[in-house]
């Protein structure tokens, strides 16, 4: 707004200065009058400057300087003018009122002029208005006071509306600038457009005479535009031309209606004699009275366009003529593969019109006759799949439905934007050609067969001729090896000796006898199998004569190892390759020596393992034999009438023996697990019955400590699984036994849950106690062998520290895990997790523990037992167990006596020890089983042995034993096993009787 408001500002300042100078001269203040005149002259100069200035071209720096200049001018002029106005008011009250009014008006004009600087404008208004009017308020005349007060109120109102006035002025100024800018841009754009346009502007009056014509018309019309002014367009037009006649007919109606027209084409004759075509477009003009005043429009040269259009029409006509009489049938389809054009020749033989095909799907008329077989349908589908991909095709053969054949060729069409528009192509009648081609194809097939036979013969001969060439190429392509070629008579045909790989010593000249060279090298001992006179038939020379493939290893005099490979050639002879294998030979010797060391180490380890196993087995046997006497006699002793003190002492002996037996069993189990010799079985079992047995075993001990032992199962848990029930029972017994042992008060809970998926189930058996708990720093060591929580000499609980280690190893061998959580003073939870197959083939109904066991109350009366036992104590134990059952006993001190006694008597059961003098129990069992086979009877042989390892049980079964009891034996176990066999015999008798 500098351009518009700055002149007004300096005009106000100049007028104010002139008025002030006049008043100062009138009042006699000549010095002030001179200053006022100087200010007026300065304001005039700035007024002229701003009239010529172009603020839009100012730089940012100049704009800032200008703003500072205006502010400084206001800071100097406002106090000066206010002081002068106060001086005038105080000098003359009449002049003072007039001066105050004039100052107020100047203040308003000055403030508005400085609206582009709002703060400076407001301060200027206040500086000019307030001082003089405040002085008027002190005047004694009431009218003067009212005038001063009115000016102050007016100044405040102006200050209130200053922002609105500022916005209004800015809006008006911005709109004016924008309109001016837009008008300039439109004028420039129009000039540019007219300069770049090939069209010529024209204008005619109401009588259709040219009143204006652009200079560019000279190039189109060939005449000076100024000479054509006043001429009608009709005088320039060739009215005989078809385009002109058509456009004149159209323009006549439009001119009558005074309507606009567009692209009317007229022919004109150029001064050079050539015919040209122009296009006219125009809009009607109206004068101020809204009357028709003529037309204004554009003229353009369309000669080239018309000529191109005519050439195109002629080309199309020529194409149609050719299409009608050509042998090929031409057609065109759209993007949907529907016909848009088809030549008359295409439908002439079909007795149909062209219109009947337009808009129809291409190929629809021939689909049925061309899709009768699977092969034809596949060809048809492949063809249309190709068209769907917008690919060109050529010579697609199809039937025409009348015994003939057609060939189709087509090319896809695309517009300027690359969009698919359809296909354009032609169809040929190829019946004769097709039949001739088929005949040629059949003849070609016959010729091909004949050629193949001939080619086979030629290839065979060529192969024979090429063989030698290929052989030579293979020889010379061999890298890093020496090579010798021998003919069928073993003479040298080719030699290629590589550096560093020496041939056997001899004369390796072409034609020399290689057999003699090898006979000499053999005799020198260069080969390991140096021949003798007796092995002459198997010498190298003899094998070479027989044409055998050979592989020899030669040690040169320098110590170099060379491998010689003899490859027989077709027709006789050899290709011999010589390879340096010195490094491989040395490595082989090293490996052979290492293999010997490893075999010796393995044998030593196996021997140590075997000695360890034998020691453990013997230790088990030697300990279990007296243990059998201790436990057996103690158990029998407890069945006699003892005093309370004696019975307690006997129980102490029984518990001590049980503890010792547990230690022995743990040591054996751990040894088998550590050696990887523990075997695991997979059989169907009842989980609830198995864990119920564990609870039954531990219940007395828990009751003795006044501890609650609870066994809980989820309601939906399966009944039967497939796995090693004995090992699972052993793990749970160990975990639950530890829980009972380390719990003094409270409960021990065994909770069983299941997660089933298909035919597999993941069992989680959690054993929780309220015992002493395990310190956190020992949780990661309790599964180590011989590790105990309290390992001090003053510990309260006994044990070897193998139980948890064995349980963890068994769980891992079963594919399961054992984890532990514990808190000191709260208790521990051991979780045994294992995944087992669910046995759905067995009855899921549970059988109670009492029903699962054979009742021991069965009568053994009249049962005859043969006991084979060399240890007198064990004889006494078994006799004490069985004699109260009213049965007959026969004792044999060794296996031989057992066989002899068995032959002399009839027995119902044989209890057989394994380790006995003269004849062991295994051999005795085999002989007794042979006797039973001869008699046609079956008497159970039950092995009772101190050999308690799994392999011992397997050996007993292999010898023919029917059952097995490890020492030390308990009376309940003996009674239960014999009772089960009695029940089985009764069942067998019922089956035989039926």
* pLDDT score of 846: 43
By three-state DSSP, how is residue 724 classified? coil
Band the pLDDT of 902: cuts 50, 70, 90. very high
Q: Please write the tens of the pLDDT for every residue from 71-87.
A: 776 676 667 666 766 76
Average pLDDT over residues 586-606: 80
What pLDDT does residue 717 have? 85
Residue % of the chain over a pLDDT of 90: 9
User: Residue 768 — pLDDT band, cuts 50, 70, 90?
Assistant: very high
Nearest Cα to Cα of residue 785 among 883, 683, 673, 684:
673
CB contact at 8 A, 398 and 379: no
Q: Which comes out higher in pLDDT, residue 618 or 537? A: 618
pLDDT band at 392 (very low <50, low <70, confident <90, very high): very high
Output the pLDDT for position 809: 83
Average pLDDT, rounded, for the chain: 77
How far apart are alpha carbons 730 and 132 in whole angstroms? 119
Q: Which CATH topology does 478-580 take?
A: Beta-Lactamase (3.30.450)
Instruction: Give DSSP secondary structure letters for 446-469.
Output: HHHHHHHHHHHHHHHHHHHHHHHH
Neighbours of 261 (CB within 10 A): 19
- Whether the per-residue pLDDT at 190 is higher than 70: the answer is no
Residue 896 reports pLDDT greater than 70: yes
User: What is the pLDDT, as a whole number, of residue 93?
Assistant: 53
**Which two structure tokens, joined as six digits, stand for 316?**
């199309």
Q: Which of 53-67, 263-277, 500-514 has the highest mean pLDDT?
A: 263-277
Q: How confident is the model at residue 899 (pLDDT cuts 50, 70, 90)?
A: very high
The span from the CA of 611 to the CA of 718, in Å, is: 45
pLDDT of residue 792: 41
Per-residue pLDDT, averaged over 201-210, amounts to: 88
Q: Which of 149, 117, 118, 115 is nearest to 132 (CA)?
A: 149
Range ranked top by mean pLDDT from 202-206, 676-680, 872-876: 202-206
Q: Give the pLDDT confidence score for residue 749 in this predicted structure.
A: 92
Alpha carbon distance 1, 720 (integer Å): 102
On whether the CB atoms of residues 754 and 761 are closer than 8 A, the answer is: yes
C-alpha pair distances (Å), 372 with each of 248, 367, 369, 435, 587: 62, 9, 6, 20, 73
Residue carrying structure tokens 């050696």:
675
Q: How far is the C-alpha of 826 from the C-alpha of 830, rounded, in Å?
A: 14
End-to-end CA distance of the chain: 131
pLDDT band for position 867 (cuts 50, 70, 90):
very high
**Which residues make up the CATH 3.40.50.2300 domain(s) of the chain?**
856-993
CATH 3.30.450.20 corresponds to the domain 199-309: yes
> What fold is seen in the domain 326-429?
Beta-Lactamase (3.30.450)
In Å, how far from its chain's centre is CA 740?
53
Which segment of 568-577, 662-671, 686-695, 933-942 scores lowest on mean pLDDT?
Answer: 662-671
pTM summary value: 0.34
Query: Does the CA dihedral 167-173-176-180 come out positive or negative?
Result: negative
Where exactly does CATH 3.30.565.10 map onto the chain? 682-851
pLDDT band at residue 2, thresholds of 50, 70 and 90?
low
Helix or strand holding residue 432 (H, E): helix 431-477
d(CA 519, CA 545): 12
- What is the CATH architecture assignment of 856-993? 3-Layer(aba) Sandwich (3.40)
**746 neighbors 827 (Cβ within 8 angstroms):** yes
Strand blocks (E) in 233-291: 261-269, 275-286
Q: Are 122 and 162 in contact (CB under 8 A)?
A: yes
pLDDT band at 862 (very low <50, low <70, confident <90, very high): confident
The tally of CA atoms less than 13 A away on the side-chain side of residue 855 is: 4
Stretch 856-884: mean pLDDT: 79
Top-confidence residue, 560 or 465: 560
Question: For the chain, percent helix, then strand, then coil, each to nearest 5?
Answer: 55, 20, 25
Which pLDDT value is given to residue 853? 39
Q: Is the dihedral of CA 687, 689, 690, 692 positive or negative?
A: positive
Cα separation, 501 vs 408, in Å, equals 71
| Nearest residue to 219 (alpha-carbon basis) of 197, 204, 243 | 197
User: What is the mean pLDDT of the segment spanning 415-430?
Assistant: 87
| Residue 377 confidence (pLDDT) | 87
Residue 330 in contact with residue 323, Cβ under 8 Å? yes
Is a pLDDT exceeding 60 seen at residue 535? no
What kind of architecture, by CATH, is found in domain 682-851? 2-Layer Sandwich (3.30)
The DSSP-derived string for 767-796 is: EEE-SS---GGGTTTTTSTT--S--STT-S
Cα separations (Å) of 953 from 612, 666, 962?
19, 18, 11
Tell me which of 926 and 522 has the higher pLDDT: 926
Helix (H/G/I), strand (E/B), else coil: 211: strand
| CATH 3.30.450.20 domain position(s) in the chain | 199-309, 326-429
Q: Which of 60-69, 547-556, 624-633, 910-919 has the lowest mean pLDDT?
A: 624-633
DSSP, res 893: S
Tokens (6 digits) for 31: 């010095």
Residue 80: what pLDDT? 67
What is d(CA 602, CA 591) in angstroms, rounded to the nearest whole number?
16
pLDDT at 794 over 50: no
Instruction: Give the model's confidence band at 795: pLDDT under 50 very low, under 70 low, under 90 confident, else very high.
Output: very low
211-257 pLDDT tens trace: 888 888 888 888 888 888 888 888 888 888 888 888 888 888 888 88
């Amino acid at each position: 707004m500098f351009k518009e408001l700055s002149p007004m500002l300096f005009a106000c300042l100049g007028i104010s200065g002139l008025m002030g100078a006049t008043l100062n001269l009138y009042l006699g203040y000549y010095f002030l009058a001179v200053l006022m005149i100087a200010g007026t002259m300065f304001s005039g100069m700035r007024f002229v400057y701003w009239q010529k200035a172009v603020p839009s071209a100012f730089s940012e720096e100049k704009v800032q300087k200008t703003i500072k200049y205006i502010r400084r001018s206001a800071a100097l002029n406002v106090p000066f003018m206010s002081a002068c106005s106060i001086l005038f008011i105080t000098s003359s009250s009449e002049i003072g009122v007039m001066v105050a009014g004039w100052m107020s008006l100047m203040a308003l004009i000055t403030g508005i002029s400085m609206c582009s600087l709002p703060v400076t404008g407001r301060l200027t208004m206040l500086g000019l208005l307030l001082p003089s009017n405040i002085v008027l308020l002190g005047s004694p005349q009431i009218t003067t006071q009212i005038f001063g007060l009115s000016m102050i109120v007016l100044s405040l109102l102006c200050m209130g509306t200053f922002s609105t006035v500022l916005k209004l002025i800015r809006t008006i100024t911005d709109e004016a600038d924008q309109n001016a800018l837009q008008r300039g841009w439109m004028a420039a754009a129009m000039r540019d457009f007219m300069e770049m346009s090939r069209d010529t502007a024209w204008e005619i009056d109401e009588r259709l005479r040219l009143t204006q014509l652009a200079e560019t018309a000279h190039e189109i019309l060939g005449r000076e535009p100024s000479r054509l002014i006043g001429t009608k367009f009709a005088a320039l037009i060739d009215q005989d031309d078809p385009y002109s006649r058509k456009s004149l007919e159209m323009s006549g109606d439009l001119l009558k209606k005074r309507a606009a027209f567009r692209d009317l084409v007229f022919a004109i004759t150029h001064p050079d004699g050539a015919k040209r075509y122009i296009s006219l477009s125009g809009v009607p003009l109206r004068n101020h009275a809204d009357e028709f005043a003529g037309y204004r429009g554009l003229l353009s040269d369309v000669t080239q366009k018309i000529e191109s259009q005519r050439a195109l029409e002629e080309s199309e006509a020529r194409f149609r003529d050719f299409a009608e009489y050509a042998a090929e049938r031409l057609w065109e389809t759209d993007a949907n593969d529907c016909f848009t054009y088809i030549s008359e020749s295409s439908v002439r033989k079909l007795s149909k019109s062209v219109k009947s095909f337009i808009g129809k799907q291409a190929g629809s008329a021939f689909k049925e006759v061309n899709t009768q077989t699977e092969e034809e349908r596949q060809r048809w589908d492949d063809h249309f799949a190709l068209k769907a991909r917008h690919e060109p095709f050529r010579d697609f053969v199809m039937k025409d439905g009348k015994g003939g054949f057609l060939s189709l060729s087509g090319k896809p069409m695309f517009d300027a934007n690359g969009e698919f528009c359809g296909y354009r192509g032609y169809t040929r009648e190829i019946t004769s050609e097709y039949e001739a081609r088929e005949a040629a194809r059949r003849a070609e097939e016959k010729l091909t067969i004949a050629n193949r036979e001939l080619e086979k013969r030629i290839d065979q001969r060529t192969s024979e001729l090429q063989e030698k060439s290929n052989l030579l190429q293979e020889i010379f392509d061999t890298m890093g090896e020496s090579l010798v070629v021998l003919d069928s008579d073993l003479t040298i045909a080719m030699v290629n000796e590589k550096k560093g790989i020496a041939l056997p010593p001899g004369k390796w000249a072409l034609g020399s006898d290689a057999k003699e060279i090898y006979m000499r090298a053999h005799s020198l001992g260069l080969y390991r199998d140096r021949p003798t006179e007796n092995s002459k038939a198997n010498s190298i020379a003899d094998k070479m004569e027989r044409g055998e493939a050979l592989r020899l290893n030669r040690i040169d005099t320098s110590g170099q190892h060379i491998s010689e490979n003899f490859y027989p050639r077709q027709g006789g002879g050899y290709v011999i390759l010589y390879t340096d294998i010195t490094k491989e030979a040395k490595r082989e010797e090293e490996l052979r020596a290492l293999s010997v060391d490893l075999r010796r180490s393995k044998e030593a380890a196996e021997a140590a393992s075997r000695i360890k196993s034998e020691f453990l087995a013997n230790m088990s046997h030697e300990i279990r034999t007296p243990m059998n006497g201790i436990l057996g006699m103690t158990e029998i002793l407890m069945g006699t009438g003892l005093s309370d003190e004696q019975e307690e002492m006997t129980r102490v002996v029984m518990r001590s023996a049980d503890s010792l037996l547990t230690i022995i069993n743990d040591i054996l189990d751990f040894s088998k697990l550590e050696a990887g010799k523990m075997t695991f079985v997979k059989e169907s079992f009842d989980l609830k019955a198995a864990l119920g047995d564990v609870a039954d075993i531990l219940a007395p001990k828990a009751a003795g400590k006044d501890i609650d032992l609870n066994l809980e199962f989820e309601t939906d848990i399966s009944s039967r699984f497939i796995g090693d029930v004995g090992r699972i029972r052993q793990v749970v017994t160990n975990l639950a036994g530890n829980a009972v042992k380390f719990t003094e008060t409270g409960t021990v809970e065994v909770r069983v849950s299941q997660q089933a998926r298909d035919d597999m189930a993941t069992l989680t058996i959690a054993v929780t106690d309220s015992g002493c708990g395990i310190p956190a720093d020992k949780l990661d060591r309790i599964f180590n062998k011989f590790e105990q929580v309290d390992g001090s000499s003053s510990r309260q609980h006994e044990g070897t520290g193998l139980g948890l280690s064995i349980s963890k190893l068994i769980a891992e061998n079963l594919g399961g895990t054992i984890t532990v959580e514990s808190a000191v003073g709260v208790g521990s939870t051991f979780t045994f997790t294992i995944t087992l197959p669910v046995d759905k083939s067995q009855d899921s109904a549970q059988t109670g523990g009492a029903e699962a066991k054979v009742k021991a109350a069965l009568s053994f009366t009249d049962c005859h037992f043969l006991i084979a036992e060399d240890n007198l104590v064990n004889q006494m134990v078994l006799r004490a167990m069985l004699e109260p059952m009213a049965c007959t006993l026969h004792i044999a001190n060794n296996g031989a006596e057992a066989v002899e006694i068995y032959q002399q008597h009839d027995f119902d059961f044989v209890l057989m020890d394994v380790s006995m003098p003269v004849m062991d129990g295994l051999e005795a069992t085999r002989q007794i089983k042979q006797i039973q086979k001869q008699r046609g009877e079956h008497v159970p042989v039950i092995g009772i042995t101190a050999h308690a390892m799994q392999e011992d049980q397997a050996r007993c079964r292999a010898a023919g034993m029917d059952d097995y009891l490890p020492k030390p034996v308990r009376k309940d176990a003996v009674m239960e096993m014999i009772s089960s066999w009695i029940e089985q015999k009764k069942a067998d008798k019922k089956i035989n009787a039926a």
